[in-house]
């Protein structure tokens, strides 16, 4: 049938054992929404890896088509904001968690979740950015709102060779920051310098339990790692600095003390991309179009096809993916 499309479907049996299958669906199988989209590109984020491998309870409705990000073209709309032919981007809003997601030829979504595909990007480039890159931009915006500028001192990026980290390094370097890139993959030093990192820090220096306060080493931070790493980043942030926290690659815990906050006036800035309001999303995508060097985006991106999504999902939770992955759904 002409309307049929392939999708990845995650299911659970009565014993809550998870299975992942490639299935053929029709538009009638999709969930409620007022805009139908032909999915042209998607990506594999850490969260998609958690959903497909079942390592964390990302999926909260069963069965589920995973995939939290997509770019594509509107093919049907009952929402006055969108008409067929419009090119759109979707990040988050629970898509791929509680609403059928991106790993399908078609998606049916709520129009208010969508933003226009920036003219600067093709669908594949937008997905090379994806939630990871848009979150990196939200972190940069949070640091800017805290009043921090490159002349104040260095910025540290943790999980630097990962998706959020790679985009954060490229953005901050382009904006003039002296970027300290923390990574557990010393073999990626040249890669990170190519993205604009000025210094490479072995993540082992940050990942073990540390002191409540340490030597002041940076004025700002983008942390994708959490746990002891974030605690040590805070303990080594200079007076009046701020750290944007968005991730938990090391752990959900935060074994810190109030010392950095009350003795150095350091701020911890929480960043959530999933439910970020539309105005902030538009601002972030607008800034990505201006501030992300397309050559550096290209350098951090691996392109794959639909058939490689599941394998890549396993690789990303094992820390084997460098930078970003863009999935060509064509």
Name the residues that contact ligand NDP, by CB under 6 A: 45-47, 131-132, 135, 159-165, 183-185, 203, 207, 224-225, 229, 246-250, 271-274, 316, 319, 321
Q: How far is the CB of 325 from ligand NDP (least distance, A)?
A: 9
Residues in CB range of 73: below 8 A, 6 or more apart:
37, 38, 40, 84, 85, 86, 87, 88
Q: How far is the CB of 2 from ligand NDP (least distance, A)?
A: 35
Nearer to ligand NDP, 30 or 235 (CB): 235
Assess whether the previous peptide bond of 57 is cis (omega < 30° from 0).
no
Query: What CA–CA distance (Å, rounded) separates 23 from 3?
Result: 14
Q: How far is the CB of 161 from ligand NDP (least distance, A)?
A: 3
Contact 284, 141 (CB under 8 A): yes
Nearer to ligand NDP, 256 or 273 (CB): 273
Closest by alpha carbon to 188, among 48, 321, 327? 321
Q: How far is the CB of 64 from ligand NDP (least distance, A)?
A: 17
Nearer to ligand NDP, 160 or 327 (CB): 160
Q: Where are the alpha helices (DSSP H) in 236-293?
A: 259-264, 278-291
User: In terms of DSSP bridges, do strands 115-116 and 87-91 run parallel, antiparallel, or are they unpaired?
Assistant: antiparallel
Tokens standing for residue 290: 């201006």
- Residue closest to ligand NDP, measured at CB: 162
Q: How far is the CB of 29 from ligand NDP (least distance, A)?
A: 28
Query: What CA–CA distance (Å, rounded) separates 173 from 300?
Result: 14
Nearer to ligand NDP, 27 or 54 (CB): 54
Nearer to ligand NDP, 30 or 225 (CB): 225
Q: How far is the CB of 13 from ligand NDP (least distance, A)?
A: 26
Nearer to ligand NDP, 163 or 260 (CB): 163
- Residue whose token pair is 């800017």: 144
């Amino acid at each position: 049938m002409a309307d049929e499309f392939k999708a990845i479907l995650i299911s659970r049996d009565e014993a809550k054992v998870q299975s992942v299958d490639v299935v053929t669906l029709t538009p009638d199988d999709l969930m409620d929404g007022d805009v139908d989209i032909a999915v042209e590109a998607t990506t594999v984020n850490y969260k998609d890896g958690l959903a497909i491998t079942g390592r964390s309870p990302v999926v909260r409705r069963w069965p589920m088509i995973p995939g939290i990000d997509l770019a594509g073209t509107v093919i049907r709309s009952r929402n006055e904001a969108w008409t067929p032919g419009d090119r759109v981007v979707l990040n988050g809003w629970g898509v791929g968690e509680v609403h059928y997601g991106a790993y399908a030829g078609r998606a049916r979504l709520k129009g208010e979740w969508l933003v226009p595909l920036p003219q600067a990007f093709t669908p594949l480039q937008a997905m090379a950015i994806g939630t990871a890159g848009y979150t990196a931009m939200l972190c940069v915006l949070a640091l800017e709102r805290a009043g921090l500028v490159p002349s104040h001192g260095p910025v540290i990026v943790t999980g630097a060779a990962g998706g959020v980290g790679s985009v954060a390094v490229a953005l901050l370097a382009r904006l003039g920051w002296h970027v300290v890139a923390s990574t557990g993959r010393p073999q990626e030093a040249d890669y990170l310098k190519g993205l604009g990192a000025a210094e490479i820090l072995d993540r082992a220096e940050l990942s073990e339990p540390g002191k409540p306060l340490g030597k002041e080493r940076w004025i700002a931070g983008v942390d994708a790692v959490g746990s002891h790493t974030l605690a040590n980043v805070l303990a080594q942030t200079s007076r009046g600095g701020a750290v944007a926290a968005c991730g938990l690659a090391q752990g959900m815990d935060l074994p810190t003390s109030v010392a950095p906050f009350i003795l150095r006036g350091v701020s911890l800035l929480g960043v959530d991309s999933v439910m970020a309001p539309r105005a902030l999303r538009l601002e972030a995508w607008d800034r990505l179009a201006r501030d992300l060097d397309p050559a550096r985006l290209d350098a951090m991106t691996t392109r794959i096809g639909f058939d490689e999504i599941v394998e890549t999902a396993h690789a990303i939770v094992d820390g084997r993916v460098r930078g970003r992955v863009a999935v060509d759904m064509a």
